[in-house]
Amino acid sequence: MASAPVYRTEDIRRIEAEAFARTPPEPLMERAGLAAAECLRERLGGGQRVLLLAGPGNNGGDAFVAARHLRQWWIDTRVVFTGTADRLPADAKLAFEAWQAAGGTVTADWPADFAPDVVADGLFGIGLRRPLDERHAALVARLASSGADIVALDVPSGLHADTGQALGPTVRADVTLTFLALKPGLLTLDGPDQCGEIRVAALGLDAEAMVPAAGHVVDAGCVRAALPRRRRNAHKGHFGDVGIVGGAPGMAGAAWLAGRAALQLGAGRVFVGTLDAEAPRLDTRFPELMLRLAAEIPALDRLTALVVGPGLGQSPAALDVLEASLAQAVPLVLDADALNLVAQQEALAVALRGRSMPTLITPHPAEAGRLLRATTAEVQADRLRAALRLAADFGALVVLKGAGSVCAAPGGAWWINTTGNPGMAGAGMGDVLAGMLGALLAQGAPAQDALLAAVHLHGLAGDAVGRHHGGLLGVLASEVAGAARIEANRLLYGGPEIPVA
């Protein structure tokens, strides 16, 4: 089954326009309001009181339709309306009039005599592009202190639907019921913190049949695509040789973490080269790793994937080994200081753009900013745009790491990953991801499949470790590498989950 599509606002508007152009027009507001009412009724549980916050636009119209259905179901329903009836869009005005005709009334402020069990946020939808004004910010603050269950209609008010940026005071919902399809802002940056559980109400339309989506959610199907079940008649040569380059003095552990992750995700052989000449030449925990000096790795003639960056540093020796690696005709993963060196050295950037073999780059926001000659804040302000710019500029597949990691391809396709957790904000996590990417590439996965599978599996593994420990403190990169092996085997072979501690 195809993964869920994700649409930016301009494409949602195209879907809406096509629906309205049909004969007869599709009654999208009526369907959205009914879906909202059903969600609110479900969230009530044993409660009986619903408050709907209706804004001055079409999001407010959805709230009026929902209120009308709730009243018809004999649920105690109140509406706070922050707009003016004669300035509502046409459909929203009809919804307001239908609410009044059904006996409903509105108030301008939060009712002092009403303690709602559930509140619907219908203030602003996908069109919001600036911080809430004082009046609406005060309503959001009152909502946060109400103790009620909160359902956001389409997008939590205050959240940018395309970027996930909380523009100022923003509703923090327990459930977000989004209409037609997912939006990127729900899934990345601040979106995951503000949206709670996300549900999609398609409103009777097949969005992808109307407007093909450039964006999708990364799902478990990509893991199965990148790692097919193994044949019984197999040997280590079938699963590739990974070279890992990094490990400046004091940083050998980063390269070892990447190498261990590559082993545990099934690479046939893994060579780890460190710039630290004094680093041990045996990993006693993983003696299967073949340890070398960094300069030896690019010259190995049997590599099927190369990873450069974990613990690399920015010394002249690091620059030399990166130059040698960019010249190799194998799939290449660039991480950490390999990216910082590319940002500093135009000759490296030219070599990267000129590669004929697949290249995958894995920046965090600060590294992405250096590559784009932008600030970290500018990258975070529109993570999707930044990832797409990197992919186009360098001709590489990109994962912009962070909450809701964004993957992008040079041709303009993009994906958002929803696995992972803040417990993974710790040392070595990127090294493990880089090693996992190397393992998948070495085993012959197409570069795009490898990227999506590794990013998704990395997050799944972090989630599994968090469950095992009962929380998100102390999630270690070394644990995530082992958990990724268990999660991959679970998806491919039906193996057990990591047990809860």
- Rounded to whole angstroms, the Cα distance separating 237 from 267 reads 9
Residues of CATH 3.40.50.10260 domain(s) within the chain? Answer: 5-213
Q: Where are the alpha helices (DSSP H) in 298-364?
A: 316-326, 337-344, 346-353
- Cβ proximity of 80 and 53 under 8 Å: yes
**Which residue intervals of the chain bear CATH 3.40.1190.20?**
221-493
Dig out the tokens for 480 from the structure.
Answer: 């995530």
Superfamily of domain 221-493: Ribokinase (3.40.1190.20)
Q: Would you give the distance in Å from CA 211 to the centre of its chain? A: 22
* This prediction's pTM: 0.95
Any residues with CB less than 8 A from the CB of 346 and at least 6 apart, and which? none
Residue type, 378: E
Q: What angle is formed at CA 189 by the lines to CA 184 and CA 195, rounded to 5 degrees? A: 70
Residue 146: Cβ-neighbour burial (10 angstroms; 0-12, 13-18, 19+) = middle
Q: Which of 33, 474, 452 is nearest to 226 (CA)?
A: 452
DSSP assignment of 152-200? EESS-TTB-TTT--B-SS----SEEEEESSB-HHHHSTTHHHHH-EEEE
The tens-digit pLDDT sequence of the chain (501 residues) is: 469 999 999 999 999 999 999 999 999 999 999 999 999 999 998 889 999 999 999 999 999 999 999 999 999 999 999 999 999 999 999 999 999 999 999 999 999 999 999 999 999 999 999 999 999 999 999 999 999 999 999 999 999 999 999 999 999 999 999 999 999 999 999 999 999 999 999 999 999 999 999 999 999 999 999 998 888 998 998 889 999 999 999 999 999 999 999 999 999 999 999 999 888 888 889 999 999 999 999 999 999 999 999 999 999 999 999 999 999 999 999 999 999 999 999 999 999 999 999 999 999 999 999 999 999 999 999 999 999 999 999 999 999 999 999 999 999 999 999 999 999 999 999 999 999 999 999 999 999 999 999 999 999 999 999 999 999 999 999 999 999 999 999 999 998 888 765
Helices (H), 22-89: 28-44, 58-72
Within 8 A by CB and 6+ apart from 153, the residues are: 32, 36, 59, 62, 63, 66, 120, 121, 122, 125, 177, 179
Rounded Cα–Cα distance for residues 437 and 452 (Å): 9
Rounded to whole angstroms, the Cα distance separating 400 from 323 reads: 23
- Please give the CATH topology (third level) of the domain spanning 5-213: Rossmann fold (3.40.50)
